[in-house]
Structure 1
Amino acid sequence: MSAPLQIGLMIFPKVTQLDLTGPVQVFSSVPGAQVHLIWKRIEPVPSDSVLTLTPTTTFADCPQLDVICVPGGVGTDDMVNDAEMLAFLRKQAEAARYITSVCTGSLVLGAAGLLKGYRAATHWTAVDFLSEFGAIPAKTRVCVDRNRITGGGVTAGIDFALTLVSIMVDRKTAEAIQLRLEYNPAPPFNSGSPDTAPAEILALMKERIAPAQARRSEAIHRAAARLNDIAPAG
């Protein structure tokens, strides 16, 4: 009997819960898979919404994973410079079959040195930061480059997870999970991308996020400078 798939998703303060819970719902439907929520300690972790998340294992106790996934959120601005998080990711990546992310989680993979020379997706507000880590930005919902599989912003996490299941298991399993979730999106507006949103909505969002973008830029520059001082991870 084959060993169960070990799938681990990182949690951290101010994670965007849908980046996490969309894939968790998909992965939890994979027959025989063991899904882990990982943080430094077993303690409640605040998300970027009213939800509080509870880890199931710690960095120290986590088994070797087949899939390591980093979701995004404003908390990634801290994680790109968090030595414990980056060391854990590098260690797991040595033997993981798939190294993955959703949304701005790809910035954390980049800060760990795990995206150099790989194409990667992220949230539309963060795409310009990927190149600082040697990644090649891909403006797609899901980007597959060898064993690096990255999703775009927030809701793309479901697309990412279904794509990964089709690769790890098979398409039939992925389609059955999609049907179980009734994942059949028909959004009420066509403003879910900077390419399709009305100009005034895009301008409004850019104005709102400008202070956060400045903070993120500073964090990314520090992380990239540190990464350049160490040997790149494989």
Structure 2
Amino acid sequence: MRIALLVYDGMTALDAVGPYDSLSRLPEADIVTVSPDGGPVTCGGGIVIQAAASLDNVDRADVLIVPGGMPSALRGLLGDAAVMEWLRRIDQTSRYTCSVCTGALLLASAGVLRNRAAATHWRAHDALAALGATPVADRVHVDGKYLTSGGVSAGIDMGLVLCGLLVGRELGEAIELSMHYAPQPPFGTGNPATALTPARRQLIEERLRN
């Protein structure tokens, strides 16, 4: 089972590594990291990931995963005709097409999420709607063969949901246990709907912008 994981300069490392970890535990999983030119990429936080292939080297995959990234990185890819064409080409024959966080913007820009409901980072809902998809607040949303997740850490959940779809609930549960995945966030402000107060949420947003 070939899994193509797009990587690019400025992407959020956990968006890629989160689902990678769970999917790498699947039997017979062949995960190929794909960058536009096949070279190494530097994530938004400075971590360097060496790609295994370029867009030209991968013409099909059973699963496509597109992580999100920094706004400047996304703007560059949204205008990259080669990347958009590659996403459309892989999606044509994929069993599942998936995104993490703002990776949904790339899929939507390529046209594969048009008129579909999709999850993304809560700050990107308006941008996703402008690209023809319908944003939802789900942590993981499944619409046919399309799996999309909310921001960053939700990619771990998406990876586990995908494991269950690919190999069944029993093995999916075993993978979740092997990862010791039982999150207990210390502050409880990870979802804007449950953030402490409107004032506190505004403060958090201001700090994120600075």
Match of 2:178 among 177, 180, 193: 180
- Which residue of 1 is the match for residue 61 of structure 2? 65
- Which residue of 2 is the match for residue 43 of structure 1? 39
Aligned partners of 2:3 and 2:112: how far apart in 1? Answer: 18
Q: Which runs of 4+ in 1 moved over 6 A?
A: none
- Which residue of 2 is the match for residue 231 of structure 1? none
For residue 206 of structure 1, report the CA deviation from its aligned partner. 2.6
- Which residue of 2 is the match for residue 203 of structure 1? 202
- Which residue of 1 is the match for residue 134 of structure 2? 136
Given that residues 81 and 111 in structure 1 are in contact (C-alpha distance below 8 angstroms), is that contact kept between their aligned partners in structure 2? no
Q: 3-state DSSP class of the match of 1:125?
A: helix
Which structure 1 residue ranges, 5 or more long, are not aligned? 212-234
Match of 2:17 among 21, 26, 31: 21
Which structure 2 residue ranges, 5 or more long, are not aligned? none
Identical pairs, percent: 37
Tell whether 2:7 aligns with 1:8: no
For residue 126 of structure 1, report the CA deviation from its aligned partner. 0.2
Given that residues 119 and 137 in structure 1 are in contact (C-alpha distance below 8 angstroms), is that contact kept between their aligned partners in structure 2? yes
Aligned residues: 207
Match of 2:119 among 109, 118, 121: 121
Aligned partners of 2:85 and 2:59: how far apart in 1? Answer: 15
Structure 2: which amino acid aligns with 1:73?
G
Aligned partners of 1:54 and 1:89: how far apart in 2? Answer: 20
> 1:219-230 residue pairs with structure 2 within 5 A?
none
For residue 46 of structure 1, report the CA deviation from its aligned partner. 0.6
Given that residues 38 and 55 in structure 2 are in contact (C-alpha distance below 8 angstroms), is that contact kept between their aligned partners in structure 1? no
Structure 2: which amino acid aligns with 1:207?
E
Given that residues 42 and 58 in structure 1 are in contact (C-alpha distance below 8 angstroms), is that contact kept between their aligned partners in structure 2? yes
Given that residues 59 and 89 in structure 2 are in contact (C-alpha distance below 8 angstroms), is that contact kept between their aligned partners in structure 1? no
What TM-score results when the alignment is normalised by the length of structure 1?
A: 0.85
For residue 205 of structure 1, report the CA deviation from its aligned partner. 3.2
Q: 3-state DSSP class of the match of 1:140?
A: coil
- Alpha-carbon distance change, 55 to 99 in structure 1, aligned in 2, over 3 angstroms: same
Q: 3-state DSSP class of the match of 2:28?
A: coil
